Amino acid sequence: MERKKGIRSLTRFWRDRNAKPEASGSSTTVTQSARTTSPSQDASMRNLKKTPKARRQILNSTDTSRGRRHVVIPDTQVKPGVNTDHLEAAGKYIASLTPDVLIHIGDHYDLPSLSSYDKGKRSFEGRRYISDIEAGNDAMDRLMAPIQREISRRKKGKRKGWNPELHFCLGNHENRIARACDDNAELDGVLSFEDFNLKENGFTVHDFLRPLVIDGICYAHYHTSGILGRPVSSAQTMLNKKHMSTVMGHVQDRQIAYAKRADGTRITGIFAGIFYTHSEGGYLTPQTDTATTWSGIWVLNECKDGAFDEMPISTSYLMDKFGPTKGRKR
């Protein structure tokens, strides 16, 4: 309800903007602490009869003494007009997997209406902003609906409950709101991270580029290098800088690097790729450049003290097993 009120207030602001521009103070920011609720342990897998045998043996394990299971979703970059069937498919897969932790590492909301703020310009298209927010929120609802149904079903039934940790790391696209408010005082209090329906879907929201460490694994939309704060150039560079297992999004390339600590334990660095199927114009497209671009989500099994076994799950696999064409003859 609060989110809808915020969007309605933005509509009124845009309508009256020329007559009554309003100025206010500092920019809007969101700072929230990490979630402290204890997640449930893994439950047995369902609906995976068609999963390859070796993978199924890993996923069906109920032994959590060696660590917890994380699912990681990289950049989804939703905007008006793009297909989001893969998000619903991912939600169904995650609900069948019942992980302990779900992390979206940012750039779910593409926000093209605010892209000029990334280019040093000051322009704001209020009507497009509303459409951008609604498209992202609708897509987030599609992702989370199967997950929320499974959580509710287990609360009502006799099966073991499932209460996963849900985390969202703001990306540079979401941070366009902060940049817009910094550069244009009249937008402060009108644009807000509260326009996102992340809290309504149970997510704890983490500031842009603030590291989130869970089970010894460091997550952020991206990790920086050098005095200019630019994204690190490779997964190996990321490991060399962080000295701990680290996962980031932002870049389209899928990379995995390994190293060892002084005590001999292995650490892993992952560039998680993307999770969308549309073309991003100036970016490389997953449809045409599969050599350097990968689309999908990640399952990290047995996460403990920075150690884990990674398993990339491609978008094509999710759509084949859980998408709207599942069961159709090809």
> Residue 316 has which token pair?
């094509």
Residues of the chain falling short of pLDDT 70? 1-65, 116-125, 281-292, 325-330
The dihedral of CA 189, 144, 165, 160: what is its sign? positive
Model confidence, pTM? 0.78
What's residue 292's pLDDT?
56
Q: What is the dihedral of CA 166, 109, 315, 55, to 10 degrees?
A: -20
The domain 2-17+69-322 is placed in CATH, from the list 1.10.3470, 2.40.10, 3.60.21, 1.10.4100, at: 3.60.21
What's residue 126's pLDDT?
76
What's residue 134's pLDDT?
97
What pLDDT digit, counting tens, does each position of 243-287 carry? 999 999 998 889 999 999 888 889 999 999 999 988 776 554 444
Q: Which residue ranges make up each domain of the chain?
A: 2-17+69-322
What's residue 278's pLDDT?
81
What's residue 136's pLDDT?
98
What's residue 44's pLDDT?
30
DSSP 47-59: S-TTS-HHHHHHH
Radius of gyration of the chain (CA): 20
